Amino acid sequence: MLPRMFRSLVSFVAVAGAVVAIGCTPPEPELGPFAASDAGLIGPDGRQMLLRGLNARVEGLFDVTFDDGRAALEEIPPFVAADCAVIADLGLNLLRLPVNWSAIEPEPGAYNDAYALRIMDVITACHEAGVYTFVDIHQDAYSKHIGEDGAPLWAIVPPPDELLEGPLEDLSDRRASAQVLRSFRSFFDNEEGLQDAFADMAAWLIEEIGETPGLVGLEIFNEPVVFDDDKLDAFHVLVGEAVRAVNPDLPLGFEPDAIRNFADSDPTAHPRPFDNAIYAPHHYTEVFTTGWESGDVERLRDSVADIATEARIHGAHPLVGEFGNDLEAPNGELWFVESLEAYDEHRLSWAMWLYEEWSQDAWGLYDFVDEGDGPARAALREDMAALIARPFPQAIAGALTSVAYDVEARTLTVGMTGDGVHTIGASTRAWPDPPTVTCDGSEVEYDVGPGRIEVDCTGSTLVVAP
């Protein structure tokens, strides 16, 4: 413990693909899996947690290439151990990792062992940096063969009218195409046993990766397009039972119909038919229509409040699986500020879209640079980094009752019950100089790790301030 001293943040270097911490005490061994409910997310060491971080499309995992001569849809950035350290240094602790059915099972019943190992490598590298991973079985416009990513060619029923290729410059048109909408209908009607095959695939994946330290859980299906809650429920039951048969303790994430991205609520929300669940809707109030030109704060905050309400109905922990906007859009920065404050108010976990982007550019944490022979990473977008490097309670030894961060005063106030060691996400972007920590008004000592501080507090109010 250091009385009012703030040790310099631990530096990380990538050595042979591993993250090496210099001068940091290794974390305590974990004791069990995560457990999720509307009462909170309980971490492996028994503390209540919030998870906040970023999505990352990862080269070799986000499957947008073809082996039949068609041009790749887009170029996907690499992601290595040093990237996990960047996330941790921002004071964050979560990677939402999109993976694709097309790469897991390119032919019926032929599962890709090497792909599962690559997923495990990413989970492990991030865990060593203090970042947890939520694996998301992802799709956009159903399949790379007719959209952007998702299902293998054999799982498009009926077969596509036209096989598409890159460059991907018409995603909106692809999403609304007849062959994409027809494929969703076939899938959620379980034609030719498509859902059964998907459930088997998900169970195989979790049998391979489910015991990897640092894995939070599995999100079953990104942005389902079904327009029928009964069919969506039946799908969740089928996949949930298959996954729980091989790993009964793994939290399962689920989303409502993708229409919520536009409607801002799920008025038909009702309890999902499994427990230990993470409710993972996306939050994009007006982003896909006007970029939030209206500046309608009430509508935005109502959407976030509805996420919390829907999670309680489901008996699940709320995690905003995606959110984002263009900072250059009208009211773009205000959209982020209001959203992040609302997430604090309702004690939500979240994952921003996106860590790094080489094709669509506007939302990435890094600038896009084309050096002629291919894109290369530029400097961090400091304005974006400053927004998301927002202090929050990562783990509380007890129950978390409130979270509030005053941006102007750079002061985090955490309400809680219980006592013990608490972990606070604490980037130097928020506190470049040593902050002061008080427990029920009394100044206390603390230790520092990469992007976080550890403080022992027996009280009801923890305050971290300049």
Q: DSSP string of 394-461?
A: EEESSEEEEEEEETTTTEEEEEEESEEEEEEE--TTT-SS--EEEETTEE--BEEETTEEEEEEESSE
pLDDT over threshold 70, residue 31 = no
Average pLDDT over every residue of 347-370: 89
State the pLDDT confidence band at 9, using cuts at 50, 70 and 90.
Answer: very low
For 2, which DSSP code?
B
pLDDT of residue 18: 28
- Residue 30's pLDDT is 59
Q: How far apart are CA 294 and CA 306, in angstroms?
A: 20
For residue 367, the model assigns a pLDDT of 86
* Centroid of chain to Cα 243: 20
- Residue 267 confidence (pLDDT) above 90: no
pLDDT of residue 165: 98
Give CA–CA dist 169/297, Å, rounded: 32
pLDDT in tens, 186-214: 999 999 999 999 999 999 999 999 999 99
Mean pLDDT across the stretch 282-297?
96
- How far apart, in whole angstroms, are the C-alpha atoms of residue 257 and residue 270? 13
Domain residue limits, the chain: 1-30+391-466, 47-390
Please, what is the average pLDDT of the chain? 92
Query: pLDDT digit string (tens) for 123-176?
Result: 999 999 999 999 999 999 999 999 999 999 999 999 999 999 999 999 999 999
State the Cα–Cα distance between residues 163 and 421, nearest whole angstrom.
55
Tell me which of 12-21, 64-73, 229-238, 253-262 is least confident. 12-21
Tell me if 332 sits within 8 A of 324, measured CB to CB: no
Output the six-digit token pair for 23.
């001068």
Question: Does residue 98 register a pLDDT over 60?
Answer: yes
Residue 16 vs residue 453, higher pLDDT: 453
β-strand partners of 351: 53
Q: In the CATH scheme, what is the code of domain 47-390? A: 3.20.20.80
Residue 345 pLDDT greater than 80, yes or no: yes
DSSP 8-class letter at 28 = P
